[in-house]
Amino acid sequence: MTMEDLGGLATEASDPRYAELDLMSVAQLAQTMNDADATVPGAVQRALPQIVPAIEATSERMARGGRLVYVGAGTPGRIGVVDASECPPTFSTPPELVFAIMAGGPGAIVNPVEGAEDDADAGANAIDEAGIGPLDTVIGIASSGRTPYVVAAIRRARERGALTVGLSCNTATVLSAAAEHGIEVEVGPEVLSGSTRLKSGTAQKLVLNMFSTIVMVRGGKAYGNLMVDLKATNHKLRERATRMVQSIAAVDREAAIGALETAGYDVKIASIMLRRGEDLAAATARITAADGRLRTALEEN
């Protein structure tokens, strides 16, 4: 398929089941959309053989100091922004570790920039400006799999030695061909024809959830299923931190809060202090020596 041939894309097709969408009641519309959305996890599951090796390769590079970068235009770009922006509060990562490049710049997150997705030169230049290198992973996201800005960004990132992933919702796409790892989640035509913020957007969110969460878990950012690297910046998160320390160290609420206050609400350090009976300096040194992995820090002599 050429870059100009959009008519043959499944994401652009009109599904005859929804031909009378405008005649449906609210209840019928809600049921129809819910039924369509229920097919998305299955489509993602069928793509797992493509997703898993891409995440494994990403984890390996990030373990050596690489970054995770999303590139997209329109809805896919915004989904990348959302996923990246959640990493600092969830995993206490610096903003530059996981970030998104949006066609049209930051302003396009809220207000669409006409023609931005068609500017291939801008896509390539954005990769240069970000200083993408061999340890980085760049994930291009495009429902169609042919967005010029995204394809050009992936091609430039690959030229610069980065690991490249192309995430689309069609088959045999230009984006997949440009990337080292092509992920094609076949969701089929949208309920509202061509509105890829629907099933396609949901699929992209699910896949990016996997990327960011799995690489962080593999990087020691979790203890069991607890987000022990969270930033406790509000009441809800301080309460969550308290419950985690209570669980990990098997102590009461008062002891957990006391240790957290001493540790600056660092769940890992507070847990080590209580479990191993160590002071702040010793607990800090222990988690540093364990490369931030709480399980290792707690178990090593």
Residues with active-site annotation:
86, 117
CA distance 237 to 66: 28
Radius of gyration of the chain (CA): 22
Tokens of 6: 């959009």
CA distance 197 to 203: 10
CB 105 within 8 A of CB 115: no
CB 86 within 8 A of CB 133: no
Tokens of 66: 């690489």
CB 211 within 8 A of CB 282: no
Q: Which residues pair with 260 in a beta bridge?
A: none
CA distance 113 to 59: 33
What's at 62, amino acid-wise? Answer: M
Tokens of 185: 């989640």
DSSP string, 95-112: TTTEEEEETT-GGGGTS-
CA distance 201 to 194: 12
Q: Is 69 helix (H, G, I), strand (E, B) or coil?
A: strand
What's at 297, amino acid-wise? Answer: A
CA distance 110 to 151: 23
